Amino acid sequence: MAASNPLDALSKPTVWHEFSPLANASNAVNLGQGFPNWDPAPFVVTSMVDSVQTPGTSTNQYCRPNCHLPLANALADEYNGRPSWSHLNVDPMTNVMSSLGCTQVMYCAFRALLQPGDEVVLLEPAFDIYGSQVVLMGGVPKFVSLKTDLTAPPTSNDVFTFDFDALEASISKKTRVLVLNTPHNPTGKMFSREELERISSIVSNYPNLVVFSDEVYEHIVFDPEGSPHISFATLPNMFERTLTMSSAGKTFSTTGWKVGWAIGPDDLIKKMTDLQQWVNFSSPSVTQDTIARCLKRAREPYEEFPTFYDWLAADYKKRRGVLEAALTSAGISPISPQGGFFICADTSRLTFPDSVYEEESLSAPSPMPRDWALARYMTHTNPKVAVIPPSPFYSPENVDQAKNYVRFAFCKTDDLLEEAQLRLATIDPTGDLEKK
């Protein structure tokens, strides 16, 4: 019998196919999908024009399969310039690889490393692309849930914590990769040094295990003193087994440009480059060249802030404040994110008609989970604010853990956040969404 194609199990609509069209059809304020709805900063746009127009450069032609050289140099400078990275001495020629967003970087990494049957440990809730990529490679995802403590102070770091025993139990000689994500989508949790140290002591027992550290929200952090962004690779002896992955999409509001990269040891970076050479040969030079310019500019003063990154974090912090206040007055308890641009909120007070569970849904699992039904009702009827149910970020056996949450994105312009605030304010104080 012919082996089945793993793609067959994945060729179906997802939550993303369902909620954006539903939001449009319902004229909802879309706080669903996580992309900024504003233009990139002027220096980002002019950097692109400069990249295309600079005479005598090769920005309009193919670049090296590893990474366009100016981007590799800019990334090496950027990481080596961070005090926590300075001892690692990132070499632009051998420690840097770029591809089409963090997504394809991760695809190349999984493809280069996994053999069928290899296990990959994912911490759920987990960005849905991880598990699907593992399945595509014939790998086996092993899910470990973050613990949820709703009695804790309402910040993402306190509410979502590690179950280290469960993590340890999930790792075996068959484990090839552990995927970390900090700041974390969808919770906004930032992994603390103590948590990362415990993870490092666990993985140290498994020489064959590689850690992928997805850090795409690294510059959107709200308490850099109390809860700083820490790269797992900077912990003692971890660089040699870690691929640090990031991208320009969230930082420069250019999600559509799909410029992503990995920083890691020579052997892992070489494997990914060898793969990319036979897939797309190289990624677009112009966008990489632009991001190389932006990385330099971002360290300079911006709008009264010492750097663009400081401005970016402050701007997002303001938006987080607006949305949190709107949610709190509507009786929806935000779990304050320490990083990223999503708020997971506790919706247990809200009620809605049972008939929603019977609605035709493009992609909901059966039976429809509560968070999914609620997200649909909030999008299409009241308050007409589109949100994302977090159950797709859980494995099928654990979707129940998502039932009391929905995810709101605050990477949205003032007018959209204000309109969302007005609509949320119409929710009846009893939390009954049927009452208007």
Map tokens 């932006």 to a residue: 294
Under the binding rule (CB under 6 A), the answer on residue 383 touching ligand PMP is no
* Alpha helix stretches (DSSP H) within 82-187: 101-113, 128-136, 156-159, 164-170
The two structure tokens encoding residue 220: 């959107």
Query: Which strand (E) or helix (H) includes residue 99?
Result: strand 96-100
Q: Which of residues 384-403 bind ligand PMP (CB under 6 A)?
A: none
CB burial readout 395-409, b (16+ within 10 A) else e: beeebebbbbbbbbb
> Smallest gap, in angstroms, from Cβ of residue 206 to ligand PMP?
24
Q: In whole angstroms, what is the distance from residue 422 CA to residue 424 CA?
A: 6
Minimum CB–partner distance for residue 104 and ligand PMP (Å) = 7
**Interface characters, 20-59, with ligand PMP (x: CB under 6 A):** --------------x-------------------------
Contact 153, 301 (CB under 8 A): no
Contact between 178 and 193 (Cβ < 8 Å): no
Nearer to ligand PMP, 363 or 381 (CB): 363
Q: Shortest approach of ligand PMP to residue 17 CB, angstroms?
A: 15
If the CB atoms of residues 102 and 113 are measured against ligand PMP, the closer one turns out to be: 102
181 binds ligand PMP (CB under 6 A): yes
Of 98-106, 203-211, 290-298, 414-422, which segment contacts ligand PMP by CB under 6 A? 98-106
Contacts of 370 (CB under 8 A, 6+ apart): 403, 404
Identify which of residues 216 and 368 has a Cβ nearer to ligand PMP in the complex.
216
The smaller minimum CB distance to ligand PMP, of residues 71 and 350, is found at 71
**CB of 253 or CB of 382, closer to ligand PMP:** 253
Residue 184: CB partners within 8 Å, gap ≥ 6? 156, 160, 190, 191, 339, 340
In the bound state, the residue with its beta carbon closest to ligand PMP is 101
Distance CA 3, CA 148 (A): 39
Among 19, 79, 85, 127, binds ligand PMP (CB under 6 A): 127
- Detail the DSSP E strand segments found in 248-372: 259-263, 333-335, 342-346
Query: How far is CA 278 from its chain centroid?
Result: 27
The site string for ligand PMP over 236-275 (x = CB under 6 A, - otherwise) reads -----------x-x-----x--x-x---------------
The CB-based long-range contact list for 363-369 (8 Å cut-off, 24+ gap) reads 363/12, 363/13, 363/14, 363/15, 363/17, 363/18, 364/18, 365/391, 365/396, 365/399, 369/399, 369/400, 369/402, 369/403
Exactly one of 118, 124, 195, 214 binds ligand PMP (CB under 6 A); that residue is 214
**Shortest Cβ 327–ligand PMP spacing (Å):** 21
Q: Which two tokens stand for residue 183?
A: 């700041």
Q: Exposed, middle or buried, 223 (CB in 10 Å: 0-12/13-18/19+)?
A: middle
What's the closest the beta carbon of residue 185 comes to ligand PMP, in angstroms?
4
Q: Which is nearer to ligand PMP, 388 or 427 (CB)?
A: 388
The reply on whether position 287 binds ligand PMP by CB under 6 A is no
State in angstroms the smallest separation of the CB of 218 from ligand PMP: 11
In the complex with ligand PMP, the residue whose CB is nearer, 85 or 107, is 107
Closest separation in Å from C-beta 103 to ligand PMP: 3
Q: By three-state DSSP, how is residue 138 classified?
A: coil
Q: Which of 420, 409, 421 is nearest to 342 (CA)?
A: 409
Shortest distance, position 280 Cβ to ligand PMP, whole Å? 14
- Taking a C-beta distance cutoff of 8 angstroms, is the pair 332, 378 a contact? no
Residue closer to ligand PMP, measured from CB, 214 or 289: 214
32, 40, 101, 141: which one binds ligand PMP (CB under 6 A): 101
Q: Which residue's CB is nearer to ligand PMP, number 34 or number 36?
A: 34
Interaction site with ligand PMP (CB under 6 A): 34, 101-103, 127, 181, 185, 214, 216, 247, 249, 255, 258, 260
